[in-house]
Amino acid sequence: MTAERPEQPVPDYVPGHDLLAGKVVVVTAAAGAGIGAAVVRRVLEEGAKAVVFSDTHARRLAEAEEALAAEFGAERVRQLVCDVTDDAQVTALLDAAEEFGGVDIMINNAGLGGTASVLEMTDEQWSRVLDITLTGTFRCVRAAGQRMSQAGKKGVIVNNASVIGWRAQEGQAHYAAAKAGVMALTRCSAIDLAPHGIRVNAVSPSLAMHPFLAKVTSDELLHELKQREAFGRAAEPWEVANVMVFLASDYASYMTGEVVAVSSQQA
């Protein structure tokens, strides 16, 4: 029997170093306490001129904006309800960034999961996960790429994929297919946008802990998932956000079309 893997302590939070100084950043699915919310905070800490962030939950968005404005200044934050299945709402989100000078960095975090065997999965379940997670990311990549190229900006797009796009997991056929699609979309759109000086990369997290995950996942399953990780713990959302910020920064200036695993998961 394999020995219990000890849970390693969470490292100290890394302070900002102005990696995104002066940039206008747009982030989807950023209300609450998950990766998107961690990215918004991280880009502000890294000196972004402004961040426009979205979600489908108006109340949580307003609460997040109020808290961030109090900490970082109201002139640097703007929230807007956006459903990435609606192209008009995606357009409105990019329009909001024009108020600050236009999008420099687009971080596509919106996605929807669920658990169902392919034997019982309905067309509606399949289509909804694909429309939000894959097609929604496509809509945002297209919209941001158009804005950046028209403005002559050498912008950056960062997508959120998942290790499930590489590795099989029971009941995750729709989500795995969507995230594998995000990886392929990242690689191909990077080639399309390279002549415009626009970089496109993705992160592929394994297990990132946040309150919603804890709410919908049993303690037994969480323990099992943590035991698959080399450090015996889930990533903190800010640890994933750090890699997304790196990809958005000039430190990754020669990287495009790459999918970077943010994972300690064993093969």
| Token code pair at residue 189 | 């759109």
Q: How far apart are CA 186 and CA 184, in angstroms?
A: 5
The per-residue pLDDT string of the chain (267 residues; one tens digit each, 9 = 90 and over) reads: 467 888 888 999 999 999 999 999 999 999 988 999 999 999 999 999 999 999 999 999 999 999 999 999 999 999 999 999 999 999 999 999 999 999 999 999 999 999 999 999 999 999 999 999 999 999 999 999 999 999 999 999 999 999 999 988 899 999 999 999 999 999 999 999 999 999 999 999 987 766 655 555 667 767 777 677 778 787 899 999 999 999 999 999 999 999 999 987 654
- Give backbone dihedrals phi and psi of 221, rounded to 5 degrees, phi first: -70, -40
The architecture that CATH gives domain 24-262 is 3-Layer(aba) Sandwich (3.40)
Other beta carbons within 10 angstroms of residue 52's beta carbon come to: 26
Asked whether the beta carbons of 247 and 256 are under 8 A apart, the reply is no
3-state SS, residue 143: helix
**Of the listed 13, 175, 251, 254, which one is catalytic?**
175
Q: What is the pLDDT of residues 90-144, one digit of tens each?
A: 999 999 999 999 999 999 999 999 999 999 999 999 999 999 999 999 999 999 9
Q: Which H or E run contains 52?
A: strand 50-55
Is 13 one of the annotated active-site residues of the chain? no
